[in-house]
Amino acid sequence: MNPFRRRHGKAPVLAMVTWVYVLWSLLPVLIAVRISLNNGRSRSSFQPMSFRWYWGDSTASLLHDDSMRVALFNTLELAGLCMLIATPIGVAMAIGLQRWRGRTSNAANGLMLVPIVTPEIVFGVALFLVFTQLYTGFPDGLTRQLLGHVTFTISFVVVIVRGRLAAIGTQYEEAARDLGASRLQAIRLVLLPLLSPAIFASVMVVFATSVDDFVISSFLSTGASTETVPIKIYSGARAGSTPALNALATVMLLLTLAAVAIATVVLKSIQRRGGEDPGPTGGLAGLSG
Amino acid sequence: MFAVPGVGWLIAFFVVSVYAVMAVAFGGVDPFLKTSIPAWNPLQWDFTTMGNVIHEVFNGYLREVFVRTFVFVALSLAGCVAIGYPVAYYAARKAGRHKGLLLAALVLPFWISYLMRMLAWTNLLQPDGLVNQVLGWFSLPDNRNWLDGDWYTVVIGLIYGYVPFFILPLYSTLERLDGRLIEAGRDLGASARQTFLRVTLPLSVPGLMAASVITVLPMFGDYYTNSYLTSGSPRTEMVGNQIENYLRNTGQPQTGASLVLILMAMLFVLMVYYMVTTIRQQRAAER
């Protein structure tokens, strides 16, 4: 018997379970998107389609409800700034940690991993207390939220970039040094280009993590002007709300997916120029150990 | 050298923050303003509040909340294993030519906001929502109010929320698993079931552990899934709800901070396990 056939033997039950799972995991979200297009106020069943809750309704639609617009801009501003700050710090930290040997490096490695394993509520409470009791000089609201987001996304960048660093090895950099490049030149001209797929993956993960964050934003929020989309979704469902909430979530979803799509295209083009394939799950599998 | 900004940042905003939790938990409270007076000097730490809270956790009103949290997490983890293992196994070893599509579908939930996924369920589970409509087609009871504070809604919500985070690490372990060992098992006369139980399953234990730890840790601190899906019903209250309530709604921040420390202490072993295995893998990869 052909061993190849045995390995890829048919597994109809497993296949069914898997595809039913995929359906179960994605269908509710599609239904929520469909509900955002409802013509009426129902948040539970399908009604004729319109863009009433996007821009049609003159008071409660996404376009005309100030609090929703504010939440959307806050979320994007936080995520954008967070990418700009956390990515360089994280990339530098990954490069630094890789070279760092000795006992203190174990401590630094451990420190880098703690934020990943810390439940978000612990994170949220800790930041909330430190800002109210000790770092009172930082302006409340968005500044504090940004500092919080950066703190808990740095580690993701480090883990993803280190995975790639391990795959690259040190030989390219050593070759560059042998050919006369300074240490910084070797990093800038050789290492960073090789790292670019991992850096792109990190940027995406930082963006998605920041956009998705509810707990930290919520603990550091000071009211309507510092609400983000997740906070708005959370508080909105309790009060008798409209499909505008679904519209808000849908817009956020489309923006994220568009960003992921752009990043994927860029990654592909980098790979075509000679990089390695980071695998179908991108950097995400690296996060999971 | 390059690690300095990152390490400095994490010390300033993470280590010091956790220390602030301790300073508040072991500090005092202004008798008039009801605001916290943190004790930054460990020599001045006062453990009375912590003692009271620990007493409540083991014998008082907090016991029910802790037991409920454990039960919810355990049931949700069981659900994640039951759903996640077959899916990860199929994706890693059996998917064949649809593998790319399947992986994209498995990663997609990562890019969808957690609360949007919960919002979707609040739409579906309304009394006149689609879940009840579908139940009606099969002549099943279709007038249940799912969002009324029942434990099963929360467990289903937690499974739905966290199972993607369970599948991915398990997938990467199963994918790296050496197929020749499975073939050897079969060649040596074991049935498919025996091979699975005695070769595949033991080999996937590290992946199962990593996946379980990475889903269980955030679940223990989750307070929004249950409160979102049950309109904050006290019947589904978890530890996180108590923490949030003490810190934000009542004037007892040191009780909330004490609960945070208790939660961290309970999860300490899991956190260390994950960190140690990750560092080992890093070392192995860089060797």
Give the DSSP letter string of A201-262: HHHHHHHHHHHH--HHHHHT--SGGG--HHHHHHHHTTS---THHHHHHHHHHHHHHHHHHH
pLDDT for the residue numbered A238? 63
Residues of A in contact with B182 (CB under 8 A): 7
* C-alpha distance from A58 to closest chain B C-alpha (Å): 24
Residue B79 confidence class, pLDDT cut points 50, 70, 90: very high
ipTM of the complex: 0.90
Q: What is the pTM of this model?
A: 0.90
pLDDT for the residue numbered B287? 66
Name the residue ranges covered by the structural domains of chain B: 69-259+266-286
- Mutant choice from A130, A135, A150, A287 vs B, greatest count of B C-beta within 10 A: A130
Regarding predicted confidence, which is higher, A186 or A279? A186
> Considering only A156-170, A191-205, B28-42, B155-169, which range has the smallest mean pLDDT?
B28-42
Two tokens, residue B173: 């372990």
Side chain identity, residue A126: A
Tens of pLDDT, residue by residue over B86-106, are: 999 999 988 888 888 999 899
Residues of B in contact with A31 (CB under 8 A): 120, 123-124, 130
Contact A113 B279 (CB under 8 A): yes
Would you tell me which residues 26-65 of chain B have a C-beta closer than 8 angstroms to some C-beta of chain A?
36, 38
Distance CA B132, CA B152 (A): 15
Topology of the domain covering A66-288: MetI-like fold (1.10.3720)
- CB-based contact, B90 to chain A, within 8 Å: yes
Pick from B63, B18, B85: nearest CA to A152: B18
Contact B7 A219 (CB under 8 A): no
pLDDT for the residue numbered B166? 95
Domain B69-259+266-286 has CATH 1.10.3720.10: yes
CA dihedral B25, B31, B36, B38 (to 10 degrees): -60
- CB-based contact, A129 to chain B, within 8 Å: yes
pLDDT for the residue numbered A281? 46
Tens of pLDDT, residue by residue over B135-183, are: 888 888 777 788 888 899 999 999 999 999 999 999 988 988 888 888 8
Q: Please, what is the average pLDDT of chain A?
A: 85
